[in-house]
Each structure stands twice: as structure tokens, then as C-alpha cells.
Amino acid sequence: MMAIVNRTPDSFYDKGATWAEDKAFERVALVAGQGAEIVDIGGIKAAPGVEIDAAEEKSRVVDFVARVREAFPQLVISVDTWRAEVGDAVCAAGADVLNDAWGGADPELVDVAAAHGAGIICTHTGGATPRTRPYRVEYDDVVRSAIDDTVAYAERALAAGVPREGIVIDPAHDFGKNTFHSLELTRRLGEMVETGWPVLVSLSNKDFVGESLDLPVGERLVGTLAATSVAALAGARIYRVHEVVETRLTVDMVNVIAGRLLPKRAIRGLQ
């Protein structure tokens, strides 16, 4: 489980609930206690909004990463950034992974990850400019595009010196996509899994869930967990989430059904 921790005042989901550093730290403690193995710390919301330069982004995340690193030495720290300058600073502060949600918009980010021995998450955005919404985006085959782009990014990261075990691919639901694209990626996620690269999915409360069910943010948990079940059955490995406990139970149940895990307790019919 990768738990989302927003150091922003304007997150689409929590509306700034963890903008204050101490509130963000409480969130880290909560999700770590719930069993999240990774926290993903972000200093800029993905949607359009007030321009945040690299200096401001660093002010939001660098010292916070250092604080989390000191308090939780075993926790894997990911930072959601597309900027090499920010990536360098957070890795120096103790981050383990750079989550490039904008698909290589800054080509030097892989070199930063390699220089620090950090992992990197390679996403597919169809070449979208950071912090822009999709508008009439078209793909001949969105899954083929996602596979080609993320695998090429992963291979570039490997060639740059990023450890193979630290490279993950992500179809990036909603990013550079409409709802039908995100649904197609969910249905065919197994094709990404078949590449051999570990697959991360970020489904939590996304617009494709909201549009599918005509539900606002805050009422999308059931739809998120349904999409999570499909992704889990297909073999996704990492889940970037707001709700750790509910997602863990969903993924574990799917994996028990799939025969990847044993039931925690199975005495029915034996006593």
C-alpha cells in the first residue's frame, strides 16, 4: 500500500486537511500504523491552479521528508514530483522513490534517481503538459500507448543506472485520458502486468470512478474498491490510495480468491 500524503492547501480530495506540517505528520503516523509500506508525499496538486515554482515545492516537501525519514526509518518514502531539481533535494533528505506522475516531463529526473540509488515510477500521460487537464485526447489504442511509453521509460531509467528492483510502471488513470481510456486500461491491465515490470495503480477517488457512477469526490470509495479488485485480479503490485485499510482488505480478498494467499483462518467444516 502506498498512502497519499498531500502537503498542499488545495488537494481535490482532502481540501488541505494535511497542509499544515503537523497534520501531514499525523497522517504519516496513521497510515504507517495501518500497515502502509510506502507514503507518497506531494507538494503540488495535479490539477491546474496557482503556479508553484521549484523553490516553493521544495519548501513544502524537503524538510518534511527529512522529518519522516528520521521518525520512520523503515518506511519507504516516495515523493510525487516531475522536477529533477526537487527530486535531487528530496533524495538528499531521505526519499527512496521519485513518483514521476507526468511521464518524463523533465528528462533529467531519471539521472537524479540513478545518482541517489532511488527508485522511480514511470507513468503514462500521452505527453501531457504537467498540471493540465485532458481535452479531446485520442489514442489508436490507449493500452498499447501506455505499455510502449512506460516500458520505454523504464528501460531508459535502467540504462541510466536506476536499480531494476526500483523501477515501476503506472498507466496513470485520468492523466492525459478521458473516462473511457481509464476504463479500458483497467479492463486490460493484465497486458501491462505481462511486460514483467511491476505495475502501480492510482485509482483512489479518480474522476473516471466518479463519472462512471455519477458520484462526487467523497462518495467514490465503493467504486474505487471495485476498480481495485479488477486491478488486483490482473496482478497489480502497488496501490496508491487514500484509504489504506479498506484497500488492503479488498486486495487481500482478491488474492485469496486468486490463490495467491491462503485464508487467514479456515476452520469451516473442520470442527
**24 CB burial (10 A radius; 0-12, 13-18, 19+):** buried
Please say if 45 is a catalytic residue.
no
Q: Which residue has the cell 480468491?
A: 257
Q: Are 244 and 39 in contact (CB under 8 A)?
A: no
Please say if 265 is a catalytic residue.
no
From the list 45, 58, 177, 240, the catalytic residue is 240
> What number of helices (H) and strands (E) belong to the chain?
10, 8
Give the Cβ contact number of residue 149 at 10 Å: 22
The Cα 13–Cα 38 span in angstroms is: 19
Which grid coordinates are listed for 6?
498531500
From the list 23, 206, 220, 265, the catalytic residue is 206
What positions carry a catalytic annotation? 206, 240
